[in-house]
């Protein structure tokens, strides 16, 4: 259960996002990067369709891929039928996400005879490499996320008639995806990737093999982009990384907590979020920054994965249950109430019923406002493939059901505490059929609300709402006039 949208990190659920809406295209140039409005040439463009699977890192990568393609004279369309080039930005965090991409390719195989070209981008591309050509011979482009900076040259090769083009970096690359162009699809909330890759090597996780080693952007570059986004009217910024709090400023100027605070002090920015954090690198200074800067959202996503120290050790998570709970205690002692969410895997090889019961007891102790629950899924190249004592799938399913039902009751109880509170929300949309506006709190909870007749709040605006009804995953209220 969760109140959150897809996020970047080791347990990120694989959600499908079709990026067919008209983006807001910005030009980045120089160092620090400048963002400028960009008018593209009127020559007849080549067309492309891009579908994104996975986390917020993937979604933001797609924004940069779209910007790169548009800068090369391409135009984004909303259907595969209207596109000359069909691209899939892929996720391999779970087997289902990976298979979904190949099923999508199979569905559209018939379009290849119409002269369309296909490309596989992202984590599955890096993981499978040129084997994708064997599995889907009509694919022309395979490009891992660490090679996106080479897309312009790769497009030139495609346009010259080359049948198979690849871009695959090894995990030792020091390069970040620093493109000149970003096509942002949301005019109010924007992402900034501050660190790419992962050095943690959890036993179940494929990310270190598909995203490469950890490499951070200089704090000056991050702050320059944040200021430029504020100048363009963005009011919410989300800092991204596979392990965002593992950030190490190459210039040595700022810690992660100091960078958070600095972004929160940028004039015009009302909310700063960050995801996903790793417990090993989560320091008390992060909580202190949230406490002292109201612009830093009072929400932390801190994946635990298991409540059993024995299982955590087998997962190579590099912390114990008690060490994790120490970090939870820091947040619960904060002056502000911090909403805490998490990821949990059930059915890891060797997880006993006693181990699972420890995870359930952790839910009671922490009282999360939301979790992403997953059944363990074996992934290529990961150490967990060598572990014995595999938990049967039917038992994984049972445990996941028990976990989700328990968390649902916790959320039902916790969300009730908001009834009667007046909460500031950002307006994100409107549900015409229900006569409600869709909004989100600083704690990343959905709070839909009604308004008086004749009142029409602007998208992206911040309004006060008094909460009247609670549900396990959302809140309902009335706008305060």
pLDDT digits 0-9 by tens, 134-184: 888 999 999 988 788 888 899 999 999 899 999 887 666 666 655 556 778
106-129 mean pLDDT: 86
Residues 255, 285, single domain; the answer is yes
pLDDT at 306 over 50: yes
The last residue of one of the domains, among 416, 449, 466, is: 416
For 15, what's the count of Cα atoms within 13 Å in the CB-facing half-sphere? 15
Q: Domain containing 297 — which CATH number?
A: 3.80.30.20
219 confidence band (pLDDT: 50, 70, 90): very high
**What integer pLDDT is reported at residue 168 of this predicted model?**
83
378 confidence band (pLDDT: 50, 70, 90): very high
Residues 273, 409, single domain; the answer is yes
Q: How far is CA 68 from CA 48, 155, 173, 194, 212, in A?
A: 12, 10, 21, 19, 22
pLDDT at 16 over 70: no
The residue segments making up the domain with residue 424 are 419-479
Residue 9 forms part of a structural domain: no
pLDDT at 86 over 70: yes
User: Poorest-confidence range of 94-103, 291-300, 422-431?
Assistant: 94-103
Q: Domain containing 31 — which CATH number?
A: 3.40.50.12160
Q: Domain containing 447 — which CATH number?
A: 2.40.50.140
Residues 161, 190, single domain; the answer is no
Residue 186 forms part of a structural domain: yes
383 in Cβ contact with 316 (< 8 Å) = yes
Residue 176 forms part of a structural domain: no
Q: How far is CA 60 from CA 57, 147, 179, 192, in A?
A: 5, 15, 12, 8
Number of domains in the chain: 3
**What integer pLDDT is reported at residue 106 of this predicted model?**
85
For 137, what's the count of Cα atoms within 13 Å in the CB-facing half-sphere? 1
Residues 214, 135, single domain; the answer is no
Residues 410, 428, single domain; the answer is no
Residues 24, 76, single domain; the answer is yes
Taking only the tens place, the pLDDT of each residue in 19-73 is 444 455 554 433 333 333 344 444 556 999 999 988 888 888 898 899 889 988 9
Q: Provide the 8-state DSSP code for 182.
A: E
209 confidence band (pLDDT: 50, 70, 90): confident
Residue 7 forms part of a structural domain: no
Residue 5 forms part of a structural domain: no
104-116 mean pLDDT: 82
Which of 446, 321, 314, 294 has its CA nearest to residue 382? 314
Who wins on pLDDT, 130 or 23? 130
What pairing do the DSSP bridges indicate for beta strands 24-29 and 181-184?
A: antiparallel
Residues 237, 382, single domain; the answer is yes
pLDDT at 12 over 70: no
Residues 232, 349, single domain; the answer is yes
Q: Which two tokens stand for residue 63?
A: 């924004």
The last residue of one of the domains, among 368, 386, 416, is: 416
pLDDT at 359 over 80: yes
| Peptide bond just before 410 cis, omega within 30 deg | no
Share the mean pLDDT of the chain: 88
Q: What distance, in Å, lies between the first and last C-alpha atoms of the chain?
A: 32
**What integer pLDDT is reported at residue 363 of this predicted model?**
98
Residues 139, 245, single domain; the answer is no
Cα 450 → chain centroid: 29
**What integer pLDDT is reported at residue 180 of this predicted model?**
56
The last residue of one of the domains, among 133, 167, 201, is: 167
**What integer pLDDT is reported at residue 22 of this predicted model?**
47
Residues 191, 148, single domain; the answer is no
| Whole-number Å distance between alpha carbons of 175 and 22 | 29
Residues 141, 224, single domain; the answer is no
Residue 218 forms part of a structural domain: yes
Residue 173 forms part of a structural domain: no
Residue 6 forms part of a structural domain: no
285-291 mean pLDDT: 98
**What integer pLDDT is reported at residue 184 of this predicted model?**
80
Q: Which two tokens stand for residue 306?
A: 């298991």
Residues 241, 108, single domain; the answer is no
Q: CA torsion sign, 390 to 203 to 191 to 298?
A: positive
279-307 mean pLDDT: 98
Q: Which two tokens stand for residue 470?
A: 């609670």
Taking the model in full, what pTM does it have? 0.83
364-384 mean pLDDT: 95
């Amino acid at each position: 259960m969760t109140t959150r949208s897809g996020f970047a990190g080791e347990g990120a659920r694989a959600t499908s996002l079709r990026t067919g809406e008209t983006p807001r295209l910005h030009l980045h140039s120089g160092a620090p990067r400048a963002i400028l409005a960009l008018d593209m040439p009127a020559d007849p463009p080549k067309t492309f369709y891009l579908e994104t699977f996975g986390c917020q890192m993937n979604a933001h990568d797609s924004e940069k891929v779209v910007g790169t393609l548009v800068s090369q004279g391409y135009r984004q369309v909303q259907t595969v039928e209207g596109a000359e080039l069909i691209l899939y930005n892929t996720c391999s965090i779970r087997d289902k996400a990976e298979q979904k991409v190949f099923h999508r390719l199979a569905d559209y195989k018939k379009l290849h005879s119409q002269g369309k070209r296909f490309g596989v981008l992202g984590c599955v591309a890096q993981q499978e490499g040129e084997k994708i050509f064997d599995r889907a011979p009509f694919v022309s482009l395979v490009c891992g996320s660490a090679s996106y900076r080479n897309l312009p040259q790769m497009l030139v090769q495609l346009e010259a008639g080359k049948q198979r083009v690849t871009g695959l970096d090894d995990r030792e690359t020091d390069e970040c995806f620093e493109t000149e162009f970003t096509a942002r699809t949301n005019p109010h909330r924007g992402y900034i990737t501050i660190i790419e890759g992962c050095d943690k090597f959890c036993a179940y996780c494929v990310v270190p093999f598909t995203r490469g080693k950890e490499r951070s952007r200089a704090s000056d570059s991050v702050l320059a982009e944040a200021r430029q986004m504020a100048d363009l009217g963005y009011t919410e910024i989300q800092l991204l990384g596979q392990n965002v709090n593992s950030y190490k400023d190459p210039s040595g100027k700022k810690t992660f907590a100091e960078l958070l605070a600095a972004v929160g002090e940028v004039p015009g920015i009302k909310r700063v979020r960050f995801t996903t954090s790793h417990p090993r690198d989560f320091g008390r200074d992060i909580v202190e920054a949230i406490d002292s800067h109201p612009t830093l959202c009072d929400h932390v996503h801190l994946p635990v994965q298991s409540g059993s120290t024995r299982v955590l050790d087998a997962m190579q998570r590099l912390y114990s249950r008690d060490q994790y709970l120490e970090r939870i205690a820091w947040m619960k002692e904060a002056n502000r109430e911090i909403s805490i969410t998490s990821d949990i895997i059930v059915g890891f090889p060797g997880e006993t019923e006693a181990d699972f019961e420890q995870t359930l007891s952790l839910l009671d102790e922490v009282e999360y406002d939301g979790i992403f629950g997953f059944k363990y899924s074996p992934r290529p190249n990961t150490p967990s493939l060598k572990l014995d004592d595999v938990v049967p799938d039917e038992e994984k399913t049972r445990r996941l059901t028990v976990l989700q039902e328990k968390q649902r009751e916790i959320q039902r109880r916790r969300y009730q505490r908001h009834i009667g509170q007046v909460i500031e929300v950002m307006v994100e949309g409107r549900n015409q059929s229900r006569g409600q506006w869709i909004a989100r709190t600083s704690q990343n909870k959905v709070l839909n609300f009604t308004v008086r007749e004749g009142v029409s709040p602007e998208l992206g605006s911040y309004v006060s709402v008094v909460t009247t009804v609670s549900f396990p995953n959302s809140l309902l209220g009335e706008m305060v006039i």
